[in-house]
Structure 1
Amino acid sequence: MQKPVKPKTKPERPFFSSGPCAKRPGWTPDALSGALVGRSHRSAEGRERLRLAITRTHELLRLPPGYQVAIVPGSDTGAFEMAMWNLLGPRGVDVLAWDVFGRNWLRDATAELKLPDLRTFEAEAGHLPDLGNVDFARDVLFTWNGTTTGVRVPDAEWIADDREGLTFCDATSALFAEHIDFRKIDVLTFSWQKALGGEGAHGMLVLSPRALDRLASYRPPWPVPKLFRLWNSDSILYDVFEGVTLNTPSMLCVEDYLDALAWAHEIGGLNATIARAAANSAALYDWIERSDWAKPLAVDQSTRSHTSVAIRFAEPLLAGADESVRLDVMREMVRLLQDEGVAFDVAAYRGMPAGLRIWCGTTIETRDIVALLPWFDWAYAEARAAATKAGKS
C-alpha cells in the first residue's frame, strides 16, 4: 500500500476516549466556580443542587409522566447493580450480552444473585443475539449500546408494549445520542462521565411506575448492602428521588453535571445532542467505507453505534496475521497518535479484536473527527511498516 504523507492539521481537541469522555466544547475549570464546596450535601443548598440535577435530567430527557430519577453511587455500574439487587427475583430473567459490560451483568445474575430461573442470550463481538427470542413475561436485562463492541440495538420495537416483566436497560453509552422510547424501558441507568462528558463517581437511575410498584411491593431474599438499598423496612426511600443521596457526592462533580445539562439545553436539547452524535459517527463511517484497511466491528449496519465506534483491521495481509501481530500494530498506532497529540485513548477495549475505538458522542466536534481521519491512515501505514520490518506480517 502507498505510504500516506504525514498530515499537518490536527484535531483541536484530541480527546476520543470512550469513558470518561470529552468535556463539552468550550469547557474550562471556571465552569465549577459556583460549586457548593465546603458545604454539606444535606444542607438546604446542597439538596437543592442535587434536586436541580434530577429535575433538569427529567426535563432534558422528556421522560414520561410518573418516571422517577435518582442520583446513586458507583457510576453506571452502581446504578445497574442497584437495580438488579433491589428488583430482580420475583420473575424469571432473560439476560442479553454481546459486550463486556453485558457479560458483567450476566455474571452477577448468575454467580452473585444466583437467580434460579435465568436464560442467557449471547453473541460474539460484532453481533447482536436474536432479539426475537426474548420473553417479556420475564424480566429482561440488556445494554442499549455495547461500549466495547460498538454494537447497539437498532430501536425499541422489539420490546413488547404489553410486557409483564420489567426491562432493565444500561444506556450509559447511548443516552443523548440515540432515540430511546422510554415507554419501553422500566429501569434505565447511565453515568455523568459518558455522553455529556461529566465527571465520575455517581450514576443515574431512572425508574418507571411499573418498576416503582415492584420496589414498593417486593423484598429480595438476599441481603442488600446499605449503599444499594432503596427501601427502609416496608417503605421506599422516596427522598432519593428528591436529591437525598445514599452516600456523599462530590459537589464539584454535581456542578460539572449541571454545567453539562445546561450546555445540552442551550444547543437545542435532546434532538440536538442526538444530531451531533449522528453527524460525528457518519463522518467516521463514511471514511471507513472508503478505507482499504479498516472495517466496523459491528457487522449489521443497523446495529452500528453512534458513540463508541469500534474498528477492526481488515486489510487482507494483516487480517490473516496472528492476533499478536494485530495487537502490535494497534499499540504502535495508539502510541504514534498519542505522541503526535492527535488522539488519546483510542485502543480497542481489552479482550476485543485488535483495532481502534473512537468516541463520537455529542461532546465531540465533527471537524475534529474529520481532522483525525488522515492521521489514522498515516499511523496505520507506519505501524504496519514497522511490523513488516520486524518480520511479523
Structure 2
Amino acid sequence: MTSLTAMPDVRPANPNFSSGPCSKRPGWSLDGLSGAPLGRSHRAKPGKSKLAEAIDLTRKVLNVPEDYRIGIVPASDTGAVEMALWSLLGARGVDMLAWESFGKGWVTDVVKQLKLDNARVLDAPYGALPDLSAVDFTSDVVFTWNGTTSGVRVPNGDWIPANREGLTICDATSAAFAQELPFDKLDVVTFSWQKVLGGEAAHGVLILSPRAVERLESYTPLWPLPKIFRLTKSGKLIEGIFRGETINTPSMLCVEDYLDALKWADRVGGLDGLRARADANLQVLADWVDRSSWTGFLAIDPQTRSNTSVCLKVTDQDVLALDDKAQAAFAKAIAARLDQEGVAYDIGAYRDAPSGLRIWAGATVETSDLKALTAWLDWAYAIEKANLAQAA
C-alpha cells in the first residue's frame, strides 16, 4: 500500500456531514430534552409556553424585527414555503428565481400547480446565479437564499430595493442561523430546524413582514386553501399562529430539541457566533480545495459559495474524460468508501445535482472534524483513482 493510500491517523470525532437533517450541536444528548412536556396537550399552558419561548428565542438569535411575525408551521421548510406561495401569490406578477433543485421545485408549484400565467422564470445552471439585475420588483419575487443542492448563495441583499412594490418570498432554510438575512429586504422568510441548528425534522418556521401581513389581509387567492395553509380568518391574520398556537399538533419533543439548539446558539454568540463557526468551516474546505489536484467548488464565483452546504465537483482530467455515468459512479464510490469506514455519512451530491460531493459545514459541525475529513477525502480519492487505473 502506498503512502497515498495509507489510512489517515485521525478520524472525525463526529462523521455526520449530512446536509439535512444535519448534525446535532456539539455536546448534544437526549438528557437535554428532559424538560419536554410529553403526554400533554400543546394547547395546555406548558406546551403553549414552550412554543412561545421558541418563537421568542428565534427572534433573539436571528435578530428578527419586533414588527415581524414568527410562526411555527407544519411540514418543515416545504410546508412554510407552500403556505406563502399558495396564500400570497396571484395578486400581481411573480419572478421565480431558480438555480438549484428546491428553487426549481417552487417554479413547478407556481407554474404547473397554481398555473399563474404572469409568472416569469429566471434560472441559471448549477454553480451560478441568475442575473439578479434583471429581477422585476414591481412583481413578487420568490427565491432561495442559499442553494442547498448547488452550494450557491446570493452574496447579500443589495440587489433588492427598499422601495419594491412586490413581496420578496425567501426560502432561507440552509441560510438561516449561518448567513446574514437583511429582514428589511425580505417579506417572507422560511426555514426548518433540521438544517443549521440540527433540529429534528417535520416543523417549519414562517416569518412575515408587515407588508406580507397586509397582503394576507387584503387579498384572497382564487384557489381554495387546505386547512394547514390558512393564515387568515374573516380577512384578518390568525394571530394565535404567531404566539405558539400551531395549526396542527407539533411534537413537543422536537420543540424541546429546537429550544436546546437555540440556547446553545445563544451561548456561542448568537447569529454572529454561528456565522463565525460556519465561515471557519468553509475556510477549512476552501484551503483544502486550493491544495487539491482533483476537486473544486461547484459554485463558480467565490462570493457566492455557501458556508453550509458545500458542493464539490471532481476536476481530475482522467475522470472528466469518462462519460457522465462513470463520473457519477466515481464520486459515489468516494462517498460510499468513507461511509463504509464510518468517517463521513451522506456526503454524496443531491440526486438532481451534478455528480460530486456535498459536505455540510454549518455551525454544529466542528472545524477539527472537517480538517480530519479532508485527509480521508484524499485517501478515498487515491483508492478510487488507483481502481480506475487498474480497470483501464
Fold in common (TM above 0.5): yes
The question of 1:365 aligning with 2:377 is answered: no
Distance 1:258 1:34 in 2: 10
Distance 1:297 1:149 in 2: 7
Partner of 1:88: 89
Counterparts of residues 1-80 of structure 1 (less than 5 Å): 3-80=4-81
Partner of 1:324: 325
Cα deviation, residue 195, structure 1: 0.6
One-letter identity of the residue aligned with 1:98: W
Secondary structure of 2:296 counterpart = strand
Question: What TM-score do the two structures reach when normalised by structure 2?
Answer: 0.98
Partner of 1:194: 195
Partner of 1:174: 175
Whether the 8 Å CA contact 1:311–1:357 is kept in 2: the answer is yes
Cα deviation, residue 202, structure 1: 0.6
Whether the 8 Å CA contact 1:79–1:189 is kept in 2: the answer is yes
Of 187-196 and 312-321, more deviation after overlay is shown by: 312-321
Whether the 8 Å CA contact 1:72–1:204 is kept in 2: the answer is yes
Partner of 2:339: 338
Cα deviation, residue 390, structure 1: 2.8
Distance 2:163 2:56 in 1: 29
Partner of 2:255: 254
Distance 2:273 2:175 in 1: 14
Secondary structure of 2:80 counterpart = helix
Of all paired residues, the percent bearing the same amino acid is: 54
The question of 1:154 aligning with 2:155 is answered: yes
Whether the 8 Å CA contact 1:189–1:206 is kept in 2: the answer is yes
Whether the 8 Å CA contact 1:69–1:206 is kept in 2: the answer is yes
Cα deviation, residue 211, structure 1: 0.4
Distance 2:352 2:91 in 1: 34
Cα deviation, residue 45, structure 1: 1.2
Whether the 8 Å CA contact 1:334–1:347 is kept in 2: the answer is yes
Deviations 1:114-152 (A, max 9, x none): 112111001011110000000111100000000000000
**Structure 1 moving runs of 4+ over 6 Å:** none
Distance 1:80 1:325 in 2: 36
Distance 1:233 1:181 in 2: 32
Secondary structure of 1:227 counterpart = helix
Deviations 1:215-248 (A, max 9, x none): 1111111011001111123222111000000100
Counterparts of residues 96-115 of structure 1 (less than 5 Å): 96-115=97-116
Secondary structure of 1:140 counterpart = strand
The question of 1:264 aligning with 2:268 is answered: no
Partner of 1:233: 234
The question of 1:124 aligning with 2:125 is answered: yes
Cα deviation, residue 2, structure 1: 7.9
One-letter identity of the residue aligned with 1:136: F
Deviations 1:135-189 (A, max 9, x none): 1111000000000000000100000110010000000011111112111000000
Distance 1:200 1:270 in 2: 21
Number of residue equivalences: 391
Deviations 1:307-362 (A, max 9, x none): 00000000111122111111221222112101111100000111222111000001
The question of 1:185 aligning with 2:191 is answered: no
Cα deviation, residue 71, structure 1: 0.2
Cα deviation, residue 4, structure 1: 4.1
Whether the 8 Å CA contact 1:328–1:387 is kept in 2: the answer is no
Question: What TM-score do the two structures reach when normalised by structure 1?
Answer: 0.98
One-letter identity of the residue aligned with 1:49: K
Whether the 8 Å CA contact 1:9–1:371 is kept in 2: the answer is yes
One-letter identity of the residue aligned with 2:381: Y
Please list every run of 5 or more consecutive structure 1 residues that lacks an aligned counterpart in the other structure: none
Distance 2:191 2:163 in 1: 25
Distance 1:2 1:208 in 2: 57
One-letter identity of the residue aligned with 1:145: N
One-letter identity of the residue aligned with 1:3: L
